[in-house]
């Protein structure tokens, strides 16, 4: 595998890799800024947004699954979840088979906020996707999947969960 990696790296000039880094950094900055305005109004941060995104996409997700996705400490996630629960955006219920599990779902207020944040970012992506066209979109997806590790690709491949319990 090391030989293949070095061959692939040599095939792409450093200038292209640096440009890709620039593009990723600036795109992330501007993409997240669309939601940051709303989050700031509410006294929330990007960690809250990420948690709400994955809880909204995977209703009934366990705390341990969310920890695995976000790759943050239990303490950091606990602060974020406690804040979201206290504000009425997320509800925690015991697991059906294992009562020690905590299953997470967005409340109606949480769904409304998550939709509001999504709509802000959707406009940014929809415009870029439309301008790039379907072939570029397929290439974008391929590059993004190539950057992700196997566990992230597995989550993306799962798609959203059925919101029913």
pTM (two decimals): 0.85
**Nearest-angstrom CA–CA distance, 86 and 136:** 42
Residue 39 CB neighbours (<10 A): 19
pLDDT at 8: 62
Q: Both tokens of residue 66?
A: 């969310």
Residue 31 CB neighbours (<10 A): 15
CATH topology of domain 16-158: Arc Repressor Mutant, subunit A (1.10.10)
**Nearest-angstrom CA–CA distance, 20 and 9:** 13
Quickly state the pLDDT bin for 33 (edges 50, 70, 90). very high
Q: Both tokens of residue 153?
A: 């690709």
pLDDT at 9: 62
Quickly state the pLDDT bin for 5 (edges 50, 70, 90). low
pLDDT at 44: 97
**Nearest-angstrom CA–CA distance, 125 and 31:** 8
Residue 115 CB neighbours (<10 A): 13
Average pLDDT of span 130-138 = 96
Residue 65's Cα: distance from chain center in Å? 13
Q: Is the pLDDT of residue 158 over 90?
A: no
Q: Is the pLDDT of residue 23 over 90?
A: yes
Q: Is the pLDDT of residue 6 over 80?
A: no
């Amino acid at each position: 595998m090391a030989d293949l990696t070095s061959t692939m790296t040599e095939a792409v000039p450093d200038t292209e890799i640096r440009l890709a880094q620039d593009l990723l950094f600036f795109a992330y900055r501007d993409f997240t800024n669309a939601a940051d305005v709303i989050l700031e109004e509410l006294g929330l941060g990007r960690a809250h947004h990420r948690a709400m995104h994955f809880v909204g996409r995977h209703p009934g997700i366990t705390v341990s699954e969310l920890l695995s996705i976000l790759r943050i400490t239990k303490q950091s996630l606990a602060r974020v979840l406690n804040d979201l629960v206290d504000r009425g955006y997320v509800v925690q219920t015991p697991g059906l088979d294992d009562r020690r599990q905590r299953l997470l779902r967005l409340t109606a207020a949480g769904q409304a906020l998550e939709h509001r944040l999504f709509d802000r970012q959707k406009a940014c992506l929809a415009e870029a996707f439309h301008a790039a066209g379907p072939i570029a979109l397929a290439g974008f997806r391929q590059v993004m999947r190539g950057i992700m590790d196997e566990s992230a690709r597995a989550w993306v491949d799962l798609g959203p969960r059925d919101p029913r319990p």
